Structure 1
Amino acid sequence: MSKLREIGVKPASRHGQNFLIDLNLVRLIVSSAELGPRDVVLEVGTGTGALTEMMAPQVGAVVTVEIDKHLYELASEELIDFDNVTMLQCDALKNKNRFNPLVMDAVGEALARVPNSQLKLVANLPYSVATPIISNLLLCEHTPHMMVATIQKELADRIVADPWSKDYGALSVWMQAQCATELVREMSPKVFWPQPKVTSAIIKCTVSPEHRDAIPDLRYFHQFTKSIFLHRRKFLRANLVAAMKRELTKEQVDEIIGRMGFADDARTEQIDVPTLLAFCEEVRKVAPDWKL
């Protein structure tokens, strides 16, 4: 923190910058990621390089991304002795639905250099990009083995939520359909500088290749989950009718609802992940070319 003040770096609220200043929690992030020499780590939000510096000696390679030019220059000095660290000064995202190709290219090159490698996202994620980073990485050409990140607790609660709860939604289903999800630790605003107005948490998501392979069309399932949770207070039937208004008649929707055995008053937030996966496949059989 003092170093940042010395060089005149001020956290940019537009980038969601809050620096983790508790080294014990930095160590907890690293230990939760279970790092080893086969790992290629993607870090979004290099910051001062403290987390990068702790991870680099333990892994095959680190690709770390920082959007802020001044922080990039500061971290470059701190990390200059690590030849397995690739630093990028850019936005990690091309848009809210896709990663920046520069980032994915760098990750691909690092994976190619490290024998028998596996990708892990380990980061103190800027709040402004936490959701698209975590959710979109599961659609990239380089699938992560694990994701360990600090995020808003509100977002962590959504990721691990159970059906019938207020936090259960599209993100819960998308993540839990592919990962074992765990909230590792809540984090007080006091462990960050500047202090955010919200509580944070360390989330750990371990990707299951078997679960991913059981989903025939990941992109279809992704847009399906988003569309049927779009109006939480509506009945499941009404949500499907709205999502598929150009693809399915109401009679076709009723046939699918009937095959699934859903009650007339069923709501999307009551349905568990395996059932929603099956429901998606029933819809995909009838409307395989659906686009939002």
Structure 2
Amino acid sequence: MPKFQNQTISFLTKRFREVGIRPVSRHGQNFLIDMNILDLIVRSADLGPQDVVLEIGTGTGSLTTRMAAEAGHVITVEIDEHLHTLASEELFEFDNVTMLQFDVLKNKNAFRPEVMETIKEKLAEIPGGRLKLSANLPYNVATPIISNLLRTEIIPYSMTATIQKEVAERIVAQPSTKDYGALSIWLQSQCRCEIVRILPPSVFWPRPKIESAIVNLVIDDELRGRIPDLEFFHTFSRAIFFHRRKFLRSVLMSAFKGRLEKEEVDEVIAENNLQPDARAEQFTPDEVLAMSEMFRQKLAAQGK
């Protein structure tokens, strides 16, 4: 059993003082100081030798070392050059860890190409290799990372991460609740989603002002296979929640302005027995997918 770094407050403050740095709030740097939680993340990710792990937010490498002991390969990305250097000292003995130092996101809607190229390379080296996201995600990028990873050419087997509790609640929310929205539909339409544990601020340093949660999302190929056009569905589900309190007819008119005439939107509503005075939050992920297909086919029939 490898001996892992005991990432306590005293350890972190000492190491940071030695190299003359401090946590950077704009990068969402909150370090887990409860070793049991780090172990729980690794157990929840259920890592094995066939897994290529994508970790975003290397930090000091405490979670990275634990995952490297279980996984086939770990690709860990850190935006902060000082932390990247610090973690390098902890990880230099691992020959199955690739460290990258830059912003993992090209923009809020896409991953940096170098990340995807590295994932492809490492997956090709492992027979039957599969990608898993496992990370203590910085709060400011948690939603775009989890959401956009399902839009890449390399679909993960699962995603296990610490994120804001409010985002976790949005992911698992049910229809007609305040947390239910486009994120709920996008993820539930493709994944089996669960909150593993709620985490108090005390398990992090510095302490965040909000609670966090570990989520585990396992991609369901059967669910995902029912979506004929992922990009259309993604855009549609976001559009109908843009004004979540407006009635469905009004939202659909706005979503297809310039592409469908009002009469054509009304035709789809009538032909499919949709309630024009319903609200988007009342529909299940399956119902939103069916609605999305109605409009996609309407546009296709008109060559739009």
TM-score calculated relative to the size of structure 2: 0.93
Q: 1:16: how far off?
A: 1.0
Which of the residues 26, 29, 32 maps onto 1:17? Answer: 29
- Equivalent AA in structure 2 for residue 12 of structure 1: V
Which of the residues 89, 93, 99 maps onto 2:101? Answer: 89
Which of the residues 247, 250, 257 maps onto 2:259? Answer: 247
Q: Relative to structure 1, is the Cα distance of residues 5 and 190 closer, same or farther in structure 2, using a 3 angstrom cutoff?
A: farther
Say whether 1:258 aligns with 2:276: no
Match of 2:43 in 1: 31
Match of 1:6 in 2: 18
TM-score calculated relative to the size of structure 1: 0.97
In 1, the alpha carbon distance for the partners of 2:299 and 2:107 equals 27
Match of 1:118 in 2: 130
Following superposition of structure 1 onto structure 2, how do residues 14-93 of structure 1 map, counting pairs within 5 Å? 14-93=26-105
- Equivalent AA in structure 2 for residue 84 of structure 1: N
Verify the 8 A CA contact 2:190 2:219 in the aligned structure 1. yes
* CA deviation map 1:148-185 (0-9, x unaligned): 00000000010000000000000000000000000110
Match of 1:274 in 2: 286
SS at match of 2:86: helix
SS at match of 2:16: helix
Q: Structure 2, unaligned stretches of length 5 or more?
A: 1-11
- Equivalent AA in structure 1 for residue 245 of structure 2: R
Verify the 8 A CA contact 2:248 2:275 in the aligned structure 1. no
Which of the residues 218, 225, 233 maps onto 1:221? Answer: 233
- Equivalent AA in structure 2 for residue 63 of structure 1: I
* CA deviation map 1:205-257 (0-9, x unaligned): 00011111110011111111111110011011111100101111111111211
Verify the 8 A CA contact 2:32 2:205 in the aligned structure 1. yes
SS at match of 1:58: coil
Query: How many pairs are equivalent?
Result: 290
In 2, the alpha carbon distance for the partners of 1:220 and 1:209 equals 18
Say whether 1:107 aligns with 2:107: no
In 1, the alpha carbon distance for the partners of 2:301 and 2:127 equals 39
SS at match of 2:21: coil
SS at match of 2:192: strand
In 1, the alpha carbon distance for the partners of 2:272 and 2:170 equals 25
* CA deviation map 1:114-135 (0-9, x unaligned): 1101100000000010010000
| Percent of residue pairs bearing the same amino acid type | 58
In 2, the alpha carbon distance for the partners of 1:65 and 1:106 equals 11
Q: Structure 1, unaligned stretches of length 5 or more?
A: none
Q: 1:8: how far off?
A: 2.4
In 1, the alpha carbon distance for the partners of 2:271 and 2:286 equals 15
Verify the 8 A CA contact 2:198 2:212 in the aligned structure 1. yes
Q: Kindly report structure 1 stretches of 4+ aligned residues shifted beyond 4 Å.
A: none
Q: Relative to structure 1, is the Cα distance of residues 59 and 289 closer, same or farther in structure 2, using a 3 angstrom cutoff?
A: farther
Match of 1:190 in 2: 202
Q: 1:67: how far off?
A: 0.3
In 1, the alpha carbon distance for the partners of 2:142 and 2:57 equals 10
Match of 1:200 in 2: 212
Match of 2:185 in 1: 173
* CA deviation map 1:131-150 (0-9, x unaligned): 10000000011100000000
Q: Relative to structure 1, is the Cα distance of residues 222 and 10 closer, same or farther in structure 2, using a 3 angstrom cutoff?
A: same
Match of 1:151 in 2: 163
Verify the 8 A CA contact 2:57 2:135 in the aligned structure 1. yes
- Equivalent AA in structure 1 for residue 128 of structure 2: N
Q: 1:289: how far off?
A: 10
Q: Relative to structure 1, is the Cα distance of residues 32 and 238 closer, same or farther in structure 2, using a 3 angstrom cutoff?
A: same
SS at match of 2:69: helix
- Equivalent AA in structure 1 for residue 249 of structure 2: R
